[in-house]
């Protein structure tokens, strides 16, 4: 079950909201937790057991760390419970690729491969583990007290509104609202509007571009036009898919009384790669900074150590994104190198390039890196790069020519409007808003939602891209 599906929109969500509204405030966390278990168990009751076990590990771990008094014992307890979480994550996420890589080495040496049945990655496991680790570290740092209520902690860890693909919510951000929160009609309608906007981003833009992306990245020898069209389509698809999910999660949170932070801030308008990571997947960026980069030493131990920390942090970020091929690791290393070079440039007090050039160069690097991120194998990434540099000709191929439809151009127009309109909105507000614009503000999310609902009713739901991470 996904947010952009008939099951969720017509069955689960109405039933949950009805039950949630009828439940006294003191028991709403229990309703939220058990409903989230139903939501997660819709995929696999067996994996739900693993999910519940991880919740128990986080809850028990927090109390165990809080009860330990000496700093050394607290660190030992923290390491033990983080180790449990990482062991589960590494088994499900990296066992397949490690065995596959080992079998390739054995085949190269003429030895028999290891018999292996692929392990299925549980949906949302990476996000669940990062939330648990941040909670345990915050308890160890005494940023938050250990939650003694299994219901409250379970509601935080299991909350279906952001469970599958983020944002990565820290316990400290919602601790007060877990204990006491209110929902009024203006906040509920604001959340519903945000949900509809995210739904439109996902269904109208990302899902419409999906066939075009699939065709482009499946070509054995894409031309320059094929490769760049596919890369542009994927860059838009990934943003509107993930930002759309985050908007839906934030909207659902508001409908339930929770205030989640924004997860995107116009990342494709970034002026540098550093600026990009201040705008893209903000909950992950801040997590990497606070729980990985700074504990490694950050920029406090000299220039060389700073560059190493940047590379290591981004390499781990790349590995976190996927375990079915090594392209994610290479993608993370590429971003780490770009961050290190940008920092070296700034430390050398070299002049900043013109703003427009800097935005174009940043977007170009991000898109080239997305090519590696999207390709299923390193060889297919090399084929796309060959096309992007014109090594396979320049004209648009027949496969993409057939795939291109009016719907894709409309999706592109909608996508650009979703990026540009919020930037213009503030300027329009300062100058006074005409009546037609006020009507448009209130009606376009509903119109987009109804159109998107009609599309999923006719063609079915398309999974979110970040489910695989």
Q: Which residues are marked as active site?
A: 321
Q: How far apart are CA 452 and CA 460, in angstroms?
A: 11
Pull the structure tokens for residue 105: 């080495």
Residue 316 to residue 89: CA distance in whole angstroms: 13
Alpha helices in 68-124 (DSSP H): 71-108
Radius of gyration of the chain (CA): 23
Task: For the beta carbon of residue 115, count every other beta carbon within 10 angstroms.
Answer: 7
Closest CA to 318 of 282, 370, 360, 364: 370
* DSSP conformation letters of 283-342: HHHHHHIIIIITTTTTTSS-HHHHHHHHHHHHHHHHHHH-SSSTHHHHHHHHHHHHHHHH
**β-sheet bridge partners, residue 393:** 391
| 3-state SS class at 393 | strand
Alpha-carbon distance 99 to 96, whole Å? 5
Residue closest to 168 by CA, chosen among 282, 88, 248: 282
In order of 156, 302, 331, the CA distances from 337 in angstroms are 36, 17, 10
| Torsion sign over Cα 199, 205, 208, 213 | negative
Contact 271, 359 (CB under 8 A): yes
Residues 6 or more apart whose CB falls under 8 angstroms from that of 356 comprise none
Alpha carbon distance, N-terminus to C-terminus of the chain: 17
Among residues 153, 156, 146, 254, the alpha carbon closest in space to that of 198 is found at 254
DSSP single-letter state for residue 10: I
């Amino acid at each position: 079950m996904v947010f952009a599906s008939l099951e969720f929109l017509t069955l689960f969500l109405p039933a949950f909201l009805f039950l949630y509204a009828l439940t006294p405030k003191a028991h709403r966390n229990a309703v939220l937790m058990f409903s989230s278990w139903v939501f997660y168990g819709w995929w696999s009751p067996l994996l739900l057991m693993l999910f519940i076990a991880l919740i128990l590990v986080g809850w028990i771990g927090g109390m165990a760390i809080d009860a330990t008094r000496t700093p050394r014992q607290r660190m030992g307890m923290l390491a033990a419970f983080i180790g449990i979480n990482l062991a589960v994550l590494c088994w499900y996420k990296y066992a397949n690729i490690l065995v596959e890589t080992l079998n390739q080495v054995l085949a190269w040496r003429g030895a028999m491969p290891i018999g292996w049945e692929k392990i299925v990655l549980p949906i949302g496991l990476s996000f669940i583990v990062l939330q648990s680790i941040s909670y345990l570290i915050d308890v160890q740092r005494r940023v938050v007290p250990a939650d003694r209520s299994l219901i409250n902690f379970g509601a935080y860890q299991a909350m279906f509104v952001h469970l599958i693909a983020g944002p990565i919510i820290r316990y400290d951000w919602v601790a007060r609202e877990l204990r006491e929160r209110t929902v009024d009609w203006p906040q509920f309608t604001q959340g519903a509007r945000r949900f509809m906007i995210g739904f439109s981003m996902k269904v109208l833009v990302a899902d419409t571009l999906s066939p075009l992306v699939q065709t482009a990245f499946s070509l054995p020898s894409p031309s320059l036009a094929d490769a760049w069209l596919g890369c542009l389509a994927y860059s838009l698809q990934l943003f509107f898919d993930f930002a759309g999910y985050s908007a839906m999660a934030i909207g659902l949170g508001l409908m339930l009384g929770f205030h989640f932070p924004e997860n995107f801030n116009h990342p494709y308008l970034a002026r540098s790669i550093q600026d990009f990571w201040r705008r893209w997947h903000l909950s992950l960026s801040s997590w990497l900074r606070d729980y990985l980069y700074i504990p490694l030493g950050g920029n406090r131990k000299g220039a060389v150590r700073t560059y190493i920390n940047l590379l290591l942090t981004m390499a781990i970020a790349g590995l976190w994104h996927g375990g079915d091929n090594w392209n994610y690791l290479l993608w993370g290393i590429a971003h780490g190198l770009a961050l290190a070079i940008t920092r070296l440039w700034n430390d050398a007090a070299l002049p900043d390039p013109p703003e427009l050039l800097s935005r174009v160069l940043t977007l170009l690097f991000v898109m080239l890196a997305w090519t590696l991120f999207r390709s299923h194998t390193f060889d297919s990434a090399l084929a796309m790069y060959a096309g992007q540099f014109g090594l396979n000709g320049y004209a648009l191929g027949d496969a993409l020519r057939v795939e291109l439809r009016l719907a894709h151009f409309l999706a592109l127009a909608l996508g650009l409007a979703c990026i540009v309109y919020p930037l213009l909105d503030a300027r329009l507000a300062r100058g006074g808003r005409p009546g037609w614009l006020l009507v448009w503000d209130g009606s376009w999310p509903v119109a987009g939602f109804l159109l998107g609902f009609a599309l999923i009713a006719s063609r079915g739901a398309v999974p979110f891209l970040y489910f695989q991470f």
